[in-house]
Structures are given as C-alpha cells and as structure tokens.
Amino acid sequence: MRGFAGLSADNSKRLPTFAFLYCSNNPVDRGDHPSYTGIVKKRYFIILFALSIMLVSCLNWVMEKPSFVIREITLKPRSLTEMTLLIGLDVKNPNCFDLTFKSFEYTVYLNNAEIGSGHLEQEILIPSSSTTRVTAPVSAELKNWGGSVIKAILTGDKLLYKIEGKTDIQTFLGGVKLPFSQEGHLN
C-alpha cells in the first residue's frame, strides 16, 4: 500500500511537518535518499528568503513616520546677498526601533516663501521612542525672501514654517525612501 508522497505505509512516520513541499513521484523526497537533507535545507531556505522579502516590502505598514519640528534658526552671512541658515530640527522617532537616516534632503519655507534648501549626506541615528536634535544647513539668497519674512525676523513676530523633502531611512527590517512635510509656527 502506498501512502503520502510515494512512501509506503510503514515509512509514513518519516514524513516531515511541511509535507506540502514534497512531490509524490520524486525519489529524492524519500528520507533514505543521499541528498534528501540538502534538498530539504534548500527548500526551507527558499521559504525563509521569500518570507523575509515579504517582511521588508511591508515596512511602510509597520513603521510610523518620524516628525520634524523647527526649534531654532541661526543666521550665518556668507556675503551681502547670500547666507547660511542653521536650522535646529527636533526629529521624533515614534517607533520601537532605531531609525538611521542615510540621506536627508529638504526645502524650508518661511511665511509661505521658499527660503532655501539643503541636504545632509552623513548618517543620522534616531534612537527608538525619542527625539534627536539635528542641525541642518540651508543655503539661502536674500533676494528670494519676501518682505514679510525679513520683517518677522527683525521684529520677532511669529513665523509660519514648512519643511518638506525626502529621506532614505534604514532600519533593522530594511530600507525605505520616505517623503515628508511638516508645518508649524516659530517664535
């Protein structure tokens, strides 16, 4: 009498847990074949690899987006028409795992006027469930600033800000390119 996967009834106790991986007519699927262990390991490896690919592709479902808040702006003049702004950003990681920013590109707007843009190529580690201060340089030309921005800076009025861009985030689950946009008020 023949049992599952071409094994006789007395050999059916050798049947592994993942019986669906075995073909009934393949002689290699018998436990007494010399390459049986290697083939089983290869099949388990393929399944494990497929599961890991599925896990990495679901990273956007698992990971919450970090938030960005501008806390301070420091002006460093380069010439009469150009300056570098050092933006003090608080980056909050709401996840229960660390995030590493591989690259970070951004554009800053004050009172709805584009002030300038910049990028960081150094890696930035944002520990799990914490906030990290990041200093982001922005190259700016004064001719692009509206009168309301200069007036608000000189008088100390509230400034409406917006920062948007994209970052390449690496986690223990894999990497993802993430666009972001954050608005708020700066005193």
Q: Which of 14-18, 62-66, 73-77, 105-109 has the lowest mean pLDDT?
A: 14-18
Domain, as residue range, for 50? 4-57
Would you call 11 helix, strand, or coil by DSSP?
helix
**What HEC string does 54-100 produce?**
HHHHCHHHHCCCCEEEEEEEEEEECCCCEEEEEEEEEEEECCCCCEE
Within this chain, do residues 120 and 177 fall inside the same structural domain, yes or no?
Answer: yes
159 contacts 108 by C-beta, under 8 angstroms:
no
Query: 141-162: per-residue pLDDT in tens?
Result: 877 676 777 677 767 778 788 8
Query: 89-130: per-residue pLDDT in tens?
Result: 899 999 888 889 898 899 988 888 888 899 987 899 999 899
pTM greater than 0.85 (yes/no):
no
Q: Using pLDDT thresholds of 50, 70 and 90, give the confidence band for residue 131.
A: very high
Given its phi and psi angles, is residue 32 left (phi above 0), alpha (psi -120 to 50 degrees) or beta?
A: alpha
Within this chain, do residues 165 and 84 fall inside the same structural domain, yes or no?
Answer: yes
Number of independent structural domains in the chain: 2
> Nearest-CA neighbor of 14 among 36, 38, 43?
36
Query: 4-53: per-residue pLDDT in tens?
Result: 444 445 555 555 555 555 555 555 555 555 566 666 777 877 887 777 66
> Nearest-CA neighbor of 83 among 145, 154, 141?
141
Identify the domain boundary among 40, 57, 74: 57
Within this chain, do residues 81 and 159 fall inside the same structural domain, yes or no?
Answer: yes
Within this chain, do residues 130 and 43 fall inside the same structural domain, yes or no?
Answer: no
